[in-house]
Structure formats: C-alpha cells, structure tokens
Amino acid sequence: EVQLVESGGGLVQPGRSLRLSCAASGFTFDDYAMHWVRQAPGKGLEWVSGISWNSGSIGYADSVKGRFTISRDNAKNSLYLQMNSLRAEDTALYYCAKESDGGEYFQHWGQGTLVTVSS
Amino acid sequence: AIRMTQSPSSLSASTGDRVTITCRASQGISSYLAWYQQKPGKAPKLLIYAASTLQSGVPSRFSGSGSGTDFTLTISCLQSEDFATYYCQQYYSYPPITFGGGTKVEIK
C-alpha cells in the first residue's frame, strides 16, 4: 500500500524558512516523479513544485520560484521542500503527491502538513 | 500557463439527480485532464484521468468527456457520499500543472 507522510509544518514568521519532508513507502520511490501541491484555508488546489525520479527535471509554480527548492533522497525514500522567504500567502496545507504512471496526475496523496506564516 | 475554468463554482442538487460540471482550458490540452473529488479535511481523490478513463474503484456513475478545451464531469445519479468539491487538472503543459477553481456540490 502506497503511503506518503508529510512532516515539518508549523507556525513561522514572515521572511523565515521551513523545510517540509515527505516519507514514502509501499512503492519503488526512485521510479516515480513526485510533487508538492498546496491548499490555502478554504481555497482550491495549487501545484507548487515537481521533481523527476532522478532529480534531473524540476519545475516550480511562478508564485514560489526563487524561494522554494524541491529535492529528494532516493536512498531514504524521501521528498523535501525547502521554503525560504515565507510570506503570509504561503499559508496552506501542503500535500505530497506521487505522479501516476500515465502522466502528471495524482492517484496517491499524503494527508498534508499545515504551514502557517504569521507574525 | 494554461488556465482552467470550472463552472459552476457551486451547485445544489438532490440525491438521485444527474449533475454535470464543466471545465474549460484556456488553450487546447488534448485529453490530458484529470478530475478529483475532495471532502472536508481529506486529501483529493482521483476520479478520472485522460479525460474519460475511470480510475479503478471509482463508481461507474462518474464519467468524464471532452477533449481540446472543453470537458465535463457527470455524476449520473447523485448519492449522499458524492457531496464534495470537485476539481479538474490539466497535465498537458508541465510545468506548471494547473487546477480549476473547484465546484462545490451541496445538498439541496
């Protein structure tokens, strides 16, 4: 059974940094691209970033480009999101999602980790 | 970036109703479209991919159609467990992946 477990969220002041982690199990992690998707309170889904199986291809939403860095450690079956220069508008539930075999859509999601940016 | 526009943003329906949700892409995306269902406090659930392919385990009352710029999600006979928010997502042009704004299906 595929499991994705996010961690690292919390309350952080504007301008500070936070690192999210996603621990994956139940599948061959280094066979799949992985993504982060966020959802602000009461709002819709927003794709944040994605990384290919070998980290050779990485993409970011314009809203986080230059501030967030996605990475992965295949030896540890883990996905990361380094978030710097955080803003109030980054407040959201951050989901880790596994890319499906057929393309960049998501059958498997974690439960999410909440990031609150506030002074 | 390709913009995905869903309509309506919300609707009220009764159990047993046929419900149709529309998603329009700002440019052609062939059939690279997925639909998700999300209930409060839960992660999204994949319903349909490739515009019309039902994800394994999803009830057959859900169906998807369309290609190019215009797509629909239809629930043929609404059940109580179907009251939720639905999102479309394009994966034709990546990055970025883009989602529609969501359609909340509420009980009439």
Question: For an interface test with B, which of A35, A63, A106 has the most B Cβ atoms less than 10 Å from its Cβ?
Answer: A106
Decide: A22 and A34 in contact? Cβ < 8 Å: yes
Question: Across all residues in chain B, what is the average pLDDT?
Answer: 97
Mean local confidence (pLDDT), B12-23: 97
**Among the partner residues A44, A50, A112, nearest to B99 by beta-carbon distance:** A44
Residue B101: predicted pLDDT: 98
From the DSSP assignment, how many helices (H) and strands (E) are in chain A?
0, 11
Q: What are the per-10-residue average pLDDT scores of chain A (119 residues)?
A: 98 98 98 98 98 97 98 98 98 98 96 98
Q: Which residues pair with A92 in a beta bridge?
A: A115
End-to-end, the C-alpha distance of chain B in Å comes to 36
Collapse the DSSP code of B36 into the 3-class scheme (helix H, G, I; strand E, B; otherwise coil) and give the result.
strand
Residue A43: predicted pLDDT: 98
Q: Using the beta-carbon criterion (under 8 Å), do B97 and A35 form an inter-chain contact?
A: yes
Smallest CA–CA distance, residue A60 to chain B, in Å, is 7
CA distances, B74 to each of A56, B11, B21, B52, B103 (Å): 38, 13, 6, 10, 12
